[in-house]
Each structure stands twice: as C-alpha cells, then as structure tokens.
Structure 1
C-alpha cells in the first residue's frame, strides 16, 4: 500500500473513531446512568432538598388542592396562602423526602420494566407503595392519626402506549450502542494509528478529534437544556426543570470534560514529543557535521 493510501485510510479511521466517541459516551450515559435504578436514585435524591424543586412541588400540590376545595371568592387568597405554606413546610420534613424517593423509584421501575418487556399498553404507577412509605414515616415521627391514613391503590399514567413503543425501540438501540460504539471507537483509533505513515501525527489528530467531539457533545447538552426548558408545559417551573435536567446530565457533562482533557493531553503530548524528537535530530546533525569536516581536510592534504 502506498504512503498516500495509508494516510487516507488512517485519516478515515481516525475521523470515524472521533465521531463514534461522543455518541458512545451518550449511549453509555443513557443506558448505565439513567437506566440503572441505583444510579438514578442517587442522582435524584439530592433534588429533594433543592429549593426550586420544593417550591414547584408546593405550587403544584396547592393548585390541585384548591381545585378540590371550594371556598368563597374572597377567601381564595387567604386559603391559597395557608395551603401553600403548609405544603411548603411539609417539603422540609423527612416524610416528604420519603415520598420523593418512593415516587421516583416507583416511576423509574415501572418505566424500565415496560421498556425491557414486550407488554403493550400505557405505563402506570400504583401510588399505594408511595402512600405506605409516607404513612410509615409519619407514624415514626409520631404524627397524630398517622396510622389511620388509608392506603388506596391509585394508578397514575406516566407514559402513554404510543410513547412507549417509540421509547422501547430507542432503548433497544441504546442497549446495543452503549457497548459497541465505545469498543468500535477504540478499535478504529488503534487501527488508524497503526496504519498511519507518521504515527505521531495520527496520535495528534486523534487527540484533537477527541477534544473536538467532547466540545460538540457539551454544546449539544447545553442546546438540549435550552430546548427542553423552552418546550415545557404551561405551569411547569423553569428553574425546577432546569435543576432536574442538570442533575440528570451531570454524569454526561463530567464525561465530556474527561474526554476533552484526555484529547488535549494526548495532543499536547504528541506535540511535545515531536518537538523533542526534532530537537534531538538537529543536535545530532550539529555534532556530526564538525567531526566530518576535519576528515575531509585531511584527505585533501594527503592528495596534495
């Protein structure tokens, strides 16, 4: 294979590897970061103490209560303030934290179970498990009449049947991509470096391409955040949704920074080693040139 063909093949392999790297990071995050129950719970747990999330929940619960409670128009303001203050106070208790964790766990389990199974129909969550955990927490806190709270089976739809079909297709693709994309990226990178005529330049290109891919992935996360917040349903808090988005993508953003640092480190190392090699070559040429000059002069004198 000619040098030109090897260089072209190496460039194509490295370019493809640099394109697959951010896609592999995205797929691995979606499957192992969001899809794993333990990691999801660890990600969502701190949001129970987030002020914006608590305010959004307090506002939503207050609106639901006020829809069910009929009061005179002149009493709506005071009653609304009283209910909101009571709900906001509840969001600072251990029972609220228990309810938050139970609701998130139940919702995540129901969605992941539906994605992995081939069952049809909407995804529903039974609130009885959430109510049971809150009841136990209130009983432990010695709240009066807490043991009399009824635990009723109330199913809430969290995902429609049509949405589930589309998400299941994407989830199956992620299951394959989360393993094969990173593996293919590594194999293509090694092949591109081995095929290259100048391997140092191939390593430099790989580092720069990896850093660029990480930067583009970080930009995509920022754009996705803006699009998500701009497409929220009416009445949903932007700040609370932003806090949830930031929490869910924190691992992916960390992966972007790691890939960026890795790419820059590899590129800088290739540049420094190349500069050092050229410096050694110049020094070697400079030391051998004076040694060859006297030998030439002696030959001239002998001939004379």
Structure 2
C-alpha cells in the first residue's frame, strides 16, 4: 500500500508538471525560432480581420496626405493591395522585423526593444511607400506629391503580454527540464506502483484534467490579451497563430490520458480477476 501511495504521489506531481512542461516546450520553440514564428504568423495575411485592420491603418495614415476628392480612390487602391497576392510577402517581412520586438517584450528586455508605449509595433511605412507608387500607377490625383508616410500598428502592449505570459524567461530555462521531470515522475510512479492498472488510471485522469485546465487558461488569456491590447483585431489572431500548435499538443496529451484510463482500467480489472 505504501508503494502505491508513493507511486500515486509521483504520478500526480508529474501530471501537475505536464501542463507547464507542454506549454514551455511548445511555446519557446514556436516563438524564439524566427522561422517557426514566421511560419505561424504568415497565414494571418489571409485573415479578413487582419487585412481589414491593416487597410484601415494605412487609409488613416494616407488620407491626410491626399486631396479629399481622391480619398475614395486611395482607399480602393489600399484595399486592392491588401487583398492581392503581393500582400503576403510584405506581411512576412513586416513580421520578420517585428520578431525581435516580440522576444524583447516577452523577455522584458527594455534595452533591446525600440517600440513606442511599451508595445510591439508593425511599421507599415514600407508598405505605404510601395502604395505611393501604386497610387501613381492607378492615376490618383497628385499622388506623386504625397510626402513620406508614417504608418504604424500597435500590435500587443507590454502589460497585456506579461499578464498572459508572466515569466517567459523562466519558461525558456525550463523548456527542457520540465518535460523531462514530468515524464520521469510519471514513469517512476508507474514502475514503483504495486497496482499499475489503478496508477495508470490515476495518471490518465490527471493528464486529462491538467490539459483541460491548460486549454481553458489559453482561452482566458486570449480574451484578456485581446481586450488589453491597442489593436485587439490583430492581437487576437496573433495569439491564436502563436498558440495553435500548443492547442493541438494539449489535445493530443489529453487523448493520451484518455488512453491511459482505458488501458489502466483493463489492467486493473484483469488483476482483480486473478486475485479472486
């Protein structure tokens, strides 16, 4: 009985660590590696909400520099550009430049973060320059006289990010050791247990409960981040993109926990029959 009690304690500790272990392992790889980051956010170029937000910001920045009679044509040109195939590579380059800002904000590295108002900023100035040439080609009146356009979108604020991910640096440091510790404790508990079927059931239930709590936490933090960010229509999709892999892994581990419950129940039933 004492062996089984210690075994149960070990697997429960392993299950508790499994939640932050999965989050650390997946998020650190997804966010710190630039190519993984770009692969995650590149599909946002096809998101209607993202396109609308970028088009609105560009229109707001450009409209003040063109005659009022030409603004409708300018807005049409901007919308046409944002909805074209040319927007996707431009979007990727914008996020390539923003990636160091994201890391600096998560790591609370103020020295390496050149942003305004403690926020990640997408600089749309390059896009605006390309649009100026497009306006000239589209025949927008006085387009060649449009001055240099300063267009920026504040994506995520520092306080909102730090509330969603309070200690990213700690996650980075533990991204390897947490999974090893969680797996090690669960395996140790299963090996030590005198009733492995029952312990396997406990492990499965523990994993299911912890993973479901992580899913709920992801959903709650998403709503909080979007509500507290200066551009919620962009912050929400960004959060979804960067945590989509985490969501999949959480459900996979949850399913593994369900398998453990079923297999453990079968083993425990057979052991009970042998005992009788």
**TM-score with structure 1 setting the length:** 0.70
Q: CA deviation at 1:223?
A: 1.2
Structure 1 Cα separation of the partners of residues 267 and 250 of structure 2 = 26
Structure 1 Cα separation of the partners of residues 153 and 81 of structure 2 = 25
CA shift in 2, pair 1:159/1:226, >3 Å: closer
Give the alignment's Cα RMSD to 1 decimal.
Answer: 4.0
User: 1:98-122 CA deviation, whole Å, 9 max, x = no partner?
Assistant: 2211010111145447878978253
Structure 2 Cα separation of the partners of residues 223 and 237 of structure 1 = 14
Structure 1 Cα separation of the partners of residues 38 and 260 of structure 2 = 35
**Aligned match for 2:6, one of 6, 9, 28:** 9
The gaps in structure 1 that reach 5 residues or longer are: 286-304
Q: CA deviation at 1:36?
A: 1.4
**Aligned match for 1:85, one of 76, 79, 83:** 76
CA shift in 2, pair 1:278/1:116, >3 Å: closer
The gaps in structure 2 that reach 5 residues or longer are: 116-120, 139-143
Over alpha carbons, which structure has the higher Rg?
1
CA shift in 2, pair 1:263/1:223, >3 Å: same
8 Å Cα contact 1:122-1:157 kept in structure 2: no
Aligned residue pairs: how many?
A: 259
Partner of 1:256: 250
CA shift in 2, pair 1:180/1:250, >3 Å: same
What SS does the aligned partner of 2:111 have? coil
Q: CA deviation at 1:49?
A: 1.3
**Aligned match for 2:49, one of 52, 77, 95:** 52
Structure 1 Cα separation of the partners of residues 186 and 195 of structure 2 = 14
What SS does the aligned partner of 1:93 have? coil
What SS does the aligned partner of 2:229 have? coil
**TM-score with structure 2 setting the length:** 0.76
Show the 5 A alignment for 1:78-157: 80-112=71-103, 120=111, 122-123=113-114, 131=126
Q: CA deviation at 1:170?
A: 3.1
Partner of 2:32: 35
Partner of 1:179: 176
8 Å Cα contact 1:208-1:264 kept in structure 2: yes
8 Å Cα contact 2:25-2:175 kept in structure 1: yes
